[in-house]
Chains A and B, each alone.
Chain A
Amino acid sequence: MGVSNSKSATAGDAARARAAEYLLSRHRFRWAEALPWLVAIAAFFVFPERMTFGSQVLIAVMFALSLDLILGYAGIVTLGHAAFFGIGAYTVGLAAARLGWSEPITGLFAAAILAGLAGLISGWFLLRYRGLTLLMLTLATAIMLQETGNLRSDISGGYDGLPGLSFDPLLGRFDYDLYGHTYFIYALVVLGIIFYFVRRIVYSPFGQALTGIRENVRRMHAIGSPVHRRLVTVYTIAAAIAGVAGALFTQTNAYVTLTVFDFDNSAKVMVMLILGGTGRLYGAFVGATVYMVMEDYFSKLSPTFWQFGIGLLLVLVVLFARRGVLGLIESAGASLAKRKKP
């Protein structure tokens, strides 16, 4: 009797230790996580002449990453995320064109602050709603911003845009080059910093609470979570990141028009994220890259019908890989591991 007791105690302890270890180690860096960064660096050396396009991919990744924080983790469905991208894009654009403020790095901070502020204010009002209502309200917010820009096209440049912007050399030394090498490295470094922040948030207790809101908001209220405050907080952060992505967009293109606020832009980033997989950090990397590369490839193949390819891909993903490309890889890995075990 005594023996069997101590035996079951050890089994229980082992189960406890295993469970504790899972949570203790979950946030630790895994080597596979170096992969996207290695790919980006490799791309720099393999396709040196395509770095302008490379910067656009990095910006799309950043934009999708910001959406993952609210859609993938907190479960906020929005069709107006382009609003914050646009605010960031116009912050640096207008600052350079109208105020002569063309220092790029402080521009990023200004974009983050203004876009974050817009997220805070609109989020405070809108995040009381969910589902379809929220979808329509976020969409309306982006359209209203776009129309405000259109109304004052004397300032915004309207749909013709703010052309021929010029920005100071980075850190006062590294100037814009024809192949976009400087800006690729710049965008990669900014993405790296932002990714670090997002990764910390996702694995923090706050991040856990966000997944709780996504999984069951009723229960979150019942266990005492300040749901609205949590949602507004993450919405503000995501808006600021989207703003940085928008600012980089303007800086790399030296050009911005009101189309950044387009519904297209909001929808595209969601498609990218779903393609890659929501709520898994790297879905943004995979989804944005696959989307951008395919868009680039198809649009050269068939300038009129290129969207057909993207549409087909999305249909396939939704039908056969609901959890995105990363989800597909995960399931494949899991079934392989099962087969190996007897």
Chain B
Amino acid sequence: MTAALEVKGLNRAFGALRVARDIDLVLERGARRALIGPNGAGKTTLVNLITGVLKPSSGTVLLNGEDITATSQAERARRGLARTFQINQLFRGLTVLENLCMTIGERDGNCNNLWRPAGAKSVVIDEALDHLDSLRLTDDALKLVRELPYGRQRLVEIAIALAQKPRVLLLDEPAAGVPSSESHLILDVVAALNPEIAILIIEHDMDVVFRFAKQITVLVQGAVFTEGSPAEIMANEEVRAVYLGEEGHKVARHG
């Protein structure tokens, strides 16, 4: 069976700084993989390379077996690759409902229509409300995103990605910036995601990583340091030395 996402020999440098070094990574269908590593290891850079925000200097990215290395970011999204951002990237001046309806509209090609009122397709509104229901955001549907507390905004960030109906979902620190009293809400949502979606999650909270992930990839200085099951990673002395030992107990949460 072809993997949902496969990264082969990915390289990228900013000047002399090599931020991605021969990265290989496979997400099987329905994968639950965590990407961990110290600050500056290149985790977000890898997400940007996979989604097409950045172009690799060499290497290939395959989505469901198709080479997407040369395609645009938007084309990859249309083929079923979605992501969330470490720092919210939302349509702040629009309502939560509009955030989702527009995403669905772009997914289905409705947004090519200049004439029909956006509200005329109740299927779209229903689907948007279903997504909001599943994240318990229905009561906020008509609020502007910028009026929501940050924790709720993080949920909208995920809701948009889900409304894309992705086959592969990259979650870049979904609970970043949320007080720990509220972060369990977001992590519950992440844990309950559709098992058919292949998910790569970047996360610093080791409790979450060990609870959620079936495989873990450790990234250090732009290269894959090691990968394995949570038990293997936990038992790996070298990982403890470079990562867990350094900041494992601090449960680092940077912005």
Chain A residues close to B by CB (< 8 Å): 12, 15-16, 18-20, 22-27, 200-201, 203-209, 211-212, 214-216, 218-227, 230, 233
Could you tell me the distance between the alpha carbons of A209 and B105 in the complex, rounded to whole angstroms?
8
Q: Does B90 lie within 8 Å of A219, measured CB to CB?
A: yes
Q: Any chain A CB within 8 A of the CB of B122?
A: yes
Q: Which residues of B contact A216 (CB under 8 A)?
A: 89-92
Tell me if B60 counts as interface (CB < 8 A to partner A).
no
CA distance A35 to B76 in the complex (A): 47
- Contact partners of B160 in chain A: CB under 8 A: 219, 223
The answer to the question of B78 belonging to the interface, with a C-beta cut-off of 8 Å to chain A, is: yes
Interface segment, B22-30, B125-133, B240-248?
B125-133
Nearest-Cβ distance from residue A317 to partner chain B, whole angstroms: 19
Chain B interface size band reads: 35 or more
Closest 9 interchain pairs by CB?
A224-B77, A19-B141, A215-B91, A27-B117, A209-B111, A224-B78, A23-B119, A219-B89, A205-B110
Rounded to whole angstroms, the CA-CA distance of A204 and B112 in the bound complex is 9
Distance, CA A16 to CA B96, complexed state (A): 13
Interface residues of B in 115-151 (CB under 8 A from A): 115-120, 122, 125-126, 129, 132-133, 138-139, 141-142
Asked if B106 and A20 sit within 8 Å, CB to CB, the answer is: no
Contact of A20 (CB < 8 Å), options: B91, B98, B102, B129 = B129
Grouping DSSP codes into helix (H, G, I), strand (E, B) and loop, the B interface class, with mixed when no group exceeds half, is: helix
Inter-chain contact B90/A225, CB cutoff 8 Å = no
Interface positions of B from 65 to 101, Cβ below 8 Å from A:
72-78, 82-83, 85, 89-95, 97-98, 101
How near does chain B come to A20, taking the closest CB pair, in angstroms? 5
Report whether over half of chain A's contact residues are helix, strand or loop; otherwise say mixed. Answer: helix
Check: B113 CB closer than 8 A to any chain A CB: yes
Other A-B contacts than A204-B113, A204-B116, A230-B111, 17 sampled, CB-CB below 8 A, are A18-B141, A19-B125, A22-B97, A23-B101, A26-B118, A27-B120, A200-B115, A204-B114, A204-B118, A206-B114, A208-B101, A215-B90, A215-B94, A219-B89, A224-B75, A224-B164, A233-B114
* Smallest CB gap from B126: residue in A: A20
State whether B119 touches A24 (Cβ < 8 A). yes
How close is B254's CB to chain A, nearest CB, in angstroms?
20
A/B pair count, beta carbons within 8 Å: 144
Complex CA–CA separation, A214 to B110 (angstroms): 18
Given the interface pairs A222-B51, A223-B77, A227-B74, the reply to whether A23 lies near B118 with Cβ below 8 Å is yes
Chain B nearest Cβ from A48, distance in angstroms: 37
Shortest CB distance A209–B (Å): 4
Contacts of A25 in B (CB 8 A): 119
Contacting pair A222 B77 (CB below 8 A): yes
Cα separation A15 to B129 with both chains bound (whole Å) = 10
B152, chain A: closest CB distance, angstroms: 15
Distance in angstroms from B36 CB to nearest chain A CB is 23
**Distance of A218 Cα from B106 Cα, bound (Å):** 14
| Chain A to chain B contacts (Cβ below 8 Å), 20 pairs | A12-B138, A15-B138, A18-B142, A19-B125, A23-B101, A24-B119, A24-B125, A25-B119, A26-B118, A200-B115, A205-B110, A207-B118, A208-B98, A208-B111, A212-B106, A216-B90, A220-B74, A221-B53, A222-B85, A223-B106
Task: Please indicate which of the listed interface residues B51, B53, B92, B112 has the most CB atoms of chain A within 10 Å of its own CB.
Answer: B112
Nearest A residue to B164, CB-CB: A223
Contacts of A18 in B (CB 8 A): 141-142
Whole-angstrom CA separation of A22 from B122 in the bound complex: 12
With the chains together, A177 CA to B82 CA distance in Å? Answer: 62
Using A24-B122, A216-B92 as known contacts, say yes or no to A204 and B117 having CB atoms under 8 A apart: yes
Q: Is the CB of B138 within 8 A of A16?
A: yes
Shortest beta-carbon distance from B98 to chain A in Å: 7
**B55 interface contact, C-beta 8 A:** no
B103 at the interface (CB under 8 A from A): yes
Q: With a CB–CB cut-off of 8 A, which chain B residues contact A22?
A: 95, 97, 142
Q: Would you call B107 an interface residue if the criterion is a C-beta within 8 Å of the partner chain's C-beta atoms?
A: yes
Q: How far is the CB of B237 from chain A (nearest CB, A)?
A: 38
